[in-house]
């Protein structure tokens, strides 16, 4: 049984086909990576999965279990961003998008917002329901901060944190919504090799928190290290799919990255 | 029919006034994404400068006064950018702060005008007073024709200038990508200063022309026309020069017809309602391009 | 520990509130009147700060809500002779409705268009007031509005009026703080920080815009309704664009999102012109001071009571010294 199925997903912007007939499956407990040269349409796929873009065609299916343990398919194609979050998809951004003027704790609390069940009217004055939810949410948010190693920075402004910690805070914020599927858009961008190594262990450890991870990354070493499955995109279309070693030796992939001449060389040897 | 034509002519002359000031808003917006609220005050200040010069130093010489006023307005625009906008811009602060700073400038200029000029209505020199042309029953005054002709030629020159001249091309490049221009070693600050000067000169032409049209001047002309011109800019699509012009003419013609066939008091009501309705239907205005939704 | 933190956070507010509350012991009738108008400005400006500082929307037509509040109570008094305490609920309902109405176009409109929509809205409201003669008496305005009548008790003494206003000031401040530290406030701040990230966290933006406009409008309306009873007359000319700009200045001087700062801003801009009144020349040009303050505050760093000003000044001073000492070393 798979966790998330993407079936024939297509999006056109005007005449440009950004993602073309893309299909892949995400398995539970696994890290699925989406790679491809710049402009291949990777982020566009995440934008469609999370409801920022409405696909022109195709389906996005989330597999869930109902109370009796039977598998049910939930179609989330074209859902709005808030519906998608409620159904269990949460994302980070390529260029970190934290709430810069808010504290780390507040950032996590915003990530948690759809699970905090008191409305706007009760926000206006103190009351039992609000106090209970706020207390509970703050405790949980501190735990999340601990998980991402930021418990000491709870009351610091998000922008005052060092770059690596901002990345982690963003991942923590995504975790706060209790997602089934976590979508990470280039989490290692701008990090040095030591930081990347630590990050890859961290991402692995996240599988304890979520059912599955979809990862977009440019760093081939990181991808090959932690992915269970890799989907390769070029010009919006899937050119190859498989385990890291299968993808590494695929000629079409090498060609997409290095051009025709590069086929003679090895992808990993060229880093 | 004569009434219809008469209203149309009035609308087009008023539209010319709106269009000129509107270009100032649009030009700055296209480069800095900043709504320069001081533009309306420059409109008023220029008219006051013209009045002050004409009634003292350059008495009776319309052309000379006009040129001096335009020079003063251009300098004023450059100084406004230098003093009130540039320090905020260079710190990389949000446009909201620059906008509020420009409101500060507007307040200062309006106060100076009010303090020096007073609050009464005074008569303003006009050109070829009492001369009319009859166009199929519509009495078109000489000043109306002058305003329309001058505006159209300014628009023509501006259009040619931005397409072919080096500075014009620079301004267009700025509106594409400010940072890239900076990296390419273009004198970004000077060019932005120049665009403020250009916007102010256009507002000055507009301000003087409007007072000549009314053949009177009072302190309230700035707020009245300034807000309308800004509204026209948004109606046409802010940041698009063509939009400012078309928005100005559309708004003025609508106003003239409402005033002519319905009532003066309904005029403002209708024009502001039209703007809200247009923005609800098409938030980017008539010519505005859809903002790209980047994630 | 927690209490000291709380005290520290609200210290500025406590100082202002306490000194305002004892001020009537030392003031004459004229000064008291200025204090009342400053207190009204505090409520009005705090309501705008909710919209600007927390909601991230600069409204250029906030005077519209103030005027709707003032006119609602004035019109009800004029036509039905109802007292303030009866008019209070209609004031809240009508201004809230006006806020809701203004928020509706905001669903599809961002940034620059907010400016023109809010400006146009204020213009339209003013035009309606000016021309709806049977109800608002048009340009003439409504005169002879009595002082506040609370369930039969008329606040004849201006001191009583002042304390009622201060009660609203304190309530406004407290409610704003409750709001900011709640889910509603957090989500609003998130939207104004980064709307796209907020959406990604599952926040629906439009309902929040509606809520923040409505609440903000209600508080502005409350301030406006008290204004009508303070002045005993209302006329359309009072509620022009300058009133909105003045309100923006108060918020900006105090710092966006800083409600105690807004109170300082309101106090400053209400007392400054009165102080300048003794110098005829300066009083004539007092609006220049407003303008200059705006430009200079924007230069320095958008907030007077905040730490930013202190930082800005100290860095500038230390830069000065560094330069001097560097020069000294060169010599």
Question: Does C199 contact A at CB distance below 8 Å?
Answer: yes
Question: Does C189 contact B at CB distance below 8 Å?
Answer: no
Cβ contacts (< 8 Å) between A54 and chain C: which residues?
A: none
- Residues 86-145 (A) with a CB less than 8 A from some CB of C: 86, 90-91, 93, 97-102, 106, 109-111, 113-114, 116, 118, 120, 122-126, 130, 133-134
Query: How many angstroms separate the CA of residue A99 from the nearest CA in chain C?
Result: 5
Question: CA–CA separation, B75 vs B78, rounded Å?
Answer: 5
Same domain, yes or no: A67 and A7: yes
Out of B93, B104, B276, whose CB is closest to C291? B104
Picking from C105, C122, C127, C123, the residue whose alpha carbon sits closest to that of residue C114 is C105
Phi–psi pair at C61, nearest 5 degrees: -130, 35
Cβ contacts (< 8 Å) between B265 and chain C: which residues?
A: 127, 130-131
Same domain, yes or no: A148 and A77: no
Cβ contacts (< 8 Å) between C58 and chain B: which residues?
A: 96, 99-100
Contact A133, A122 (CB under 8 A): no
Query: How many angstroms separate the CA of residue A97 from the nearest CA in chain C?
Result: 6
Same domain, yes or no: A187 and A69: yes
Out of C175, C202, C211, whose CB is closest to A120? C211
Q: What is the pLDDT of residues B139-192, one digit of tens each?
A: 788 888 889 999 999 988 888 887 777 777 887 788 777 778 888 878 888 889
Tell me whether residue B28 is in a domain.
yes
Among A152, A178, A204, the domain boundary falls at A178
pLDDT at A260: 64
Question: Does C212 contact B at CB distance below 8 Å?
Answer: no
Inter-chain CB proximity C183 and A99 less than 8 Å: no
Contact B95, B32 (CB under 8 A): yes
Query: How many angstroms separate the CA of residue C308 from the nearest CA in chain A?
Result: 14
Q: What is the mean pLDDT of residues A44-67?
A: 91
Tell me whether residue C52 is in a domain.
yes
Neighbours of B209 (CB within 10 A): 25
Question: CA–CA separation, A90 vs A174, rounded Å?
Answer: 5
Mean pLDDT of chain B: 85
Domain housing B46: 2-281
Q: What is the mean pLDDT of residues A79-105?
A: 93
- DSSP 3-state assignment of B121? coil
**Test the B interface: residue of C269, C294, C312 with most B CBs within 10 Å:** C294
Q: Please give the C-alpha separations between residue B231 and each of B17, B84, B102, B288, in angstroms, as whole numbers.
A: 13, 23, 17, 14
Inter-chain CB proximity A126 and C178 less than 8 Å: yes
**Test the B interface: residue of C106, C108, C116 with most B CBs within 10 Å:** C116
pLDDT at B130: 72
Which residues in chain C come in under a pLDDT of 50? 302-331
Token pair 């090799």 in the structure block, residue:
A193
pLDDT at B289: 67
CATH, residue A137: 3.40.50.300
Same domain, yes or no: A185 and A271: yes
Domains held by chain A: number:
2
Token couple for C85: 């305490």
**Test the C interface: residue of A94, A123, A133 with most C CBs within 10 Å:** A123
Inter-chain CB proximity C197 and A98 less than 8 Å: yes
Out of B96, B104, B238, whose CB is closest to C294? B104
Residue B1 has pLDDT above 80, yes or no: no
Tell me whether residue B293 is in a domain.
no
Inter-chain CB proximity C182 and A130 less than 8 Å: yes
CATH, residue B29: 1.10.3470
Cβ contacts (< 8 Å) between C117 and chain B: which residues?
A: 276, 279
Higher-confidence position of B129 and C19: C19
For C200, the closest chain A residue by CA position comes to A81
Tell me whether residue B288 is in a domain.
no
Number of H helices, E strands in chain C: 16, 4
Token couple for A64: 């869930």
Question: CA–CA separation, B207 vs B225, rounded Å?
Answer: 9
Question: CA–CA separation, A198 vs A151, rounded Å?
Answer: 18
Q: Which other chains touch chain B, taking contact as 3+ CB pairs less than 8 Å apart?
A: A, C
Q: Report the interhelical angle of C29-49 vs C241-254 (nearest 10°).
A: 80
Q: Which of A218-227, B243-252, B275-284, C156-165 has the lowest mean pLDDT?
A: B275-284
Domains held by chain B: number:
1
Q: What is the pLDDT of residues B242-267, one digit of tens each?
A: 888 999 999 999 999 998 888 877 78
Question: CA–CA separation, A56 vs A54, rounded Å?
Answer: 6
Same domain, yes or no: A50 and A61: yes
Cβ contacts (< 8 Å) between B289 and chain C: which residues?
A: none
Query: How many angstroms separate the CA of residue A95 from the nearest CA in chain B?
Result: 9
Question: CA–CA separation, A156 vs B221, rounded Å?
Answer: 50
pLDDT at C330: 39
Cβ contacts (< 8 Å) between A43 and chain B: which residues?
A: 295
Question: CA–CA separation, A3 vs B185, rounded Å?
Answer: 52
Give the torsion sign (CA, B158, B164, B166, B171).
positive
Question: CA–CA separation, C107 vs C206, rounded Å?
Answer: 5
**Test the A interface: residue of C201, C203, C205, C208 with most A CBs within 10 Å:** C201
Tell me whether residue C325 is in a domain.
no
Give the torsion sign (CA, C176, C180, C182, C188).
positive
Domain housing A258: 1-88+179-271
Higher-confidence position of A248 and B283: A248
β-sheet bridge partners, residue A33: A215, A230
Q: What is the DSSP letter of C23?
A: G
Q: State CA A14 to chain mean position distance.
A: 27
Complex ipTM: 0.89
Residues 6+ apart with CB under 8 A from B281: none
Domains held by chain C: number:
1
Cβ contacts (< 8 Å) between C202 and chain A: which residues?
A: 81-82, 84-86, 113-114, 177
- DSSP 3-state assignment of A62? strand
Question: Does B106 contact C at CB distance below 8 Å?
Answer: yes
Same domain, yes or no: A202 and A253: yes
Tell me whether residue C313 is in a domain.
no
Same domain, yes or no: A33 and A167: no
Picking from C96, C103, C309, the residue whose alpha carbon sits closest to that of residue C191 is C103
β-sheet bridge partners, residue A9: A22
**Residue B248 burial (C-beta neighbours within 10 Å; 0-12, 13-18, 19+):** buried
Inter-chain CB proximity A100 and C190 less than 8 Å: no
For A97, the closest chain B residue by CA position comes to B295
Neighbours of A141 (CB within 10 A): 23
For B118, the closest chain C residue by CA position comes to C284
For C188, the closest chain A residue by CA position comes to A110
Tell me whether residue C196 is in a domain.
yes
Q: What is the pLDDT of residues A98-117, one digit of tens each?
A: 998 899 999 999 999 999 88
Among A136, A157, A178, the domain boundary falls at A178
User: Pairing relation of β-strands A212-216 and A31-35?
Assistant: parallel
Same domain, yes or no: A174 and A45: no
Token couple for A163: 């770059």
Question: Does A9 contact C at CB distance below 8 Å?
Answer: no
CATH, residue C48: 1.10.3470
Same domain, yes or no: A106 and A222: no
Same domain, yes or no: A198 and A267: yes
Using pLDDT thresholds of 50, 70 and 90, give the confidence band for residue A47: very high
Cβ contacts (< 8 Å) between B100 and chain C: which residues?
A: 58, 248, 252, 294, 298
**Test the A interface: residue of C174, C183, C198 with most A CBs within 10 Å:** C183
Out of C127, C293, C299, whose CB is closest to B88? C299
pTM: 0.82
Inter-chain CB proximity A110 and C187 less than 8 Å: yes
C64-102: burial string, b at 16+ Cβ within 10 Å, e else:
bbbbbbbbbbbbbbbeeeebbeebbebbbebbbebbeeb
Q: What is the pLDDT of residues B67-123, one digit of tens each?
A: 999 999 999 999 999 999 888 887 766 677 788 888 889 989 988 998 888 888 888
Q: Report the interhelical angle of C307-330 vs C286-300 (nearest 10°).
A: 70
Tell me whether residue C318 is in a domain.
no
For A44, the closest chain B residue by CA position comes to B295
Question: Does C251 contact B at CB distance below 8 Å?
Answer: no
Picking from B61, B79, B289, the residue whose alpha carbon sits closest to that of residue B193 is B79
pLDDT at B74: 96
Out of C108, C286, C298, whose CB is closest to B100? C298
Q: What is the pLDDT of residues B192-216, one digit of tens each?
A: 999 999 999 999 999 999 999 888 8
Cβ contacts (< 8 Å) between A53 and chain B: which residues?
A: 295
Among A129, A161, A178, the domain boundary falls at A178
């Amino acid at each position: 049984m798979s966790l998330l199925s993407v079936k024939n997903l297509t999006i056109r912007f005007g005449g440009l086909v950004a993602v073309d007939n893309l299909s892949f499956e995400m398995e539970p407990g696994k890290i699925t990576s989406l790679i491809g040269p710049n402009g291949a349409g990777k982020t566009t796929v995440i934008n469609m999965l999370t409801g920022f873009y409405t696909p022109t065609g195709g389906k996005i299916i989330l597999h869930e279990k109902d109370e009796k343990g039977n598998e049910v398919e939930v179609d989330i194609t074209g859902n709005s961003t808030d519906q998608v979050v409620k159904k269990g998809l949460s994302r980070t951004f390529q260029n970190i998008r934290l709430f810069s003027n808010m504290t780390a704790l507040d950032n996590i609390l915003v990530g948690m917002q759809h699970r905090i069940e008191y409305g706007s009217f009760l926000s206006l004055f103190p009351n039992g329901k609000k106090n209970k939810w706020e207390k509970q949410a703050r405790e949980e948010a501190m735990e999340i901060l601990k998980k991402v190693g930021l418990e000491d920075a709870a009351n610091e402004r998000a922008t005052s944190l060092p770059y690596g910690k901002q990345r982690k805070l963003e991942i923590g914020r995504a975790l706060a919504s209790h997602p089934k599927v976590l979508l990470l858009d280039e989490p290692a961008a701008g990090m040095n090799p030591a930081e990347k190594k630590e990050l890859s262990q961290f991402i692995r450890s996240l599988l304890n928190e979520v059912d599955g991870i979809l990862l977009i990354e440019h760093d081939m070493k990181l991808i090959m290290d932690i992915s269970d499955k890799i989907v390769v995109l070029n010009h919006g279309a899937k050119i190859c799919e498989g385990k890291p070693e299968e993808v590494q030796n695929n000629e079409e992939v090498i060609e997409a990255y290095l051009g025709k001449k590069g086929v003679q060389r090895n992808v990993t040897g060229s880093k | 029919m004569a009434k219809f034509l008469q209203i149309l002519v009035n609308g087009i002359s008023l539209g010319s006034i709106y269009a000129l000031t509107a270009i100032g808003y649009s030009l700055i917006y296209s480069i800095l994404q900043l709504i320069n609220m001081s533009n309306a005050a420059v409109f008023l200040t220029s008219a006051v400068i013209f009045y002050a010069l004409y009634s003292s130093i350059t008495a009776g010489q319309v052309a000379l006064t006009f040129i001096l006023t335009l020079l003063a307005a251009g300098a004023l625009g450059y100084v406004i950018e230098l003093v009130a906008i540039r320090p905020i811009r260079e710190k990389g602060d949000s446009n909201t702060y620059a906008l509020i700073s420009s409101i500060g400038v507007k307040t200062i200029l309006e106060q100076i005008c009010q303090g020096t000029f007073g609050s009464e209505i005074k008569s303003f020199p006009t050109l070829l007073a009492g001369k009319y042309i009859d166009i199929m029953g519509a009495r078109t005054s000489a000043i109306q024709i002058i305003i329309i002709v001058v505006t159209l030629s300014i628009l023509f020159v501006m259009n040619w200038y931005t397409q072919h001249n080096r500075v014009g091309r620079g301004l267009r490049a700025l509106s594409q990508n400010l940072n890239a221009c900076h990296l390419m070693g273009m004198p970004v600050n000077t060019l932005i200063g120049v665009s403020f000067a250009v916007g102010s000169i256009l507002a000055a032409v507009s301000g003087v022309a409007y007072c000549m049209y009314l053949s009177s001047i009072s302190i309230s002309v700035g707020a009245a026309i300034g807000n309308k011109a800004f509204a026209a800019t948004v109606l046409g699509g802010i940041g698009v020069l063509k939009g400012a012009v078309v928005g100005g003419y559309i708004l003025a013609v609508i106003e003239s017809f409402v005033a002519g066939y319905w009532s003066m008091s309904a005029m403002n009501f209708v024009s502001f309602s039209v703007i809200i309705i247009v923005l609800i239907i098409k938030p980017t205005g008539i010519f505005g391009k859809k903002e790209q939704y980047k994630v | 520990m927690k209490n000291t933190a709380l005290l520290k956070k609200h210290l500025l507010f406590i100082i202002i509130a306490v000194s305002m509350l004892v001020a009537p012991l030392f003031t004459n009738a004229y000064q008291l009147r200025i204090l009342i108008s400053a207190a009204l400005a505090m409520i009005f400006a705090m309501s705008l700060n909710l919209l600007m500082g927390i909601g991230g929307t600069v409204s250029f037509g906030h005077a519209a809500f103030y005027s709707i509040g003032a006119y609602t109570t004035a019109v009800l008094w004029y036509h039905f002779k109802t007292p303030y305490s009866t008019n209070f609920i209609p004031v809240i309902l009508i201004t809230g409705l006006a806020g809701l109405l203004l928020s509706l176009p905001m669903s599809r409109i961002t940034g620059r268009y907010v400016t023109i929509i809010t400006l146009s809205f204020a213009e339209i409201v003013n035009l309606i007031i000016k021309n709806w003669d049977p109800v608002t008496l048009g340009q003439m305005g409504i005169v002879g509005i009595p002082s506040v009548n609370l369930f039969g008790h008329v606040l004849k003494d201006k001191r009583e009026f002042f304390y009622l206003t201060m009660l609203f000031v304190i309530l406004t401040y407290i409610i704003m703080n409750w709001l900011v530290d709640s889910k509603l406030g957090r989500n609003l701040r998130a939207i104004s920080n980064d709307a796209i990230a907020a959406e990604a966290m599952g926040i629906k933006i439009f309902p929040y815009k509606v809520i923040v406009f409505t609440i903000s409008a209600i508080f502005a309306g409350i301030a406006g309704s008290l204004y009508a009873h303070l002045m005993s007359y209302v006329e359309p000319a009072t509620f022009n664009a300058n009133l909105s700009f003045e309100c923006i200045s108060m918020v900006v001087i105090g710092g966006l999102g800083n409600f105690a700062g807004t109170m300082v801003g309101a106090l400053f801009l209400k007392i400054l012109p009165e102080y300048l009144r003794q110098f005829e020349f300066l009083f004539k040009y007092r609006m220049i001071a407003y303008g200059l303050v705006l430009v200079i505050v924007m230069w320095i760093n958008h907030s007077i009571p905040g730490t930013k000003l202190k930082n800005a000044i100290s860095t500038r001073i230390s830069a000065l010294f560094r330069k001097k000492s560097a020069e000294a070393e060169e010599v």
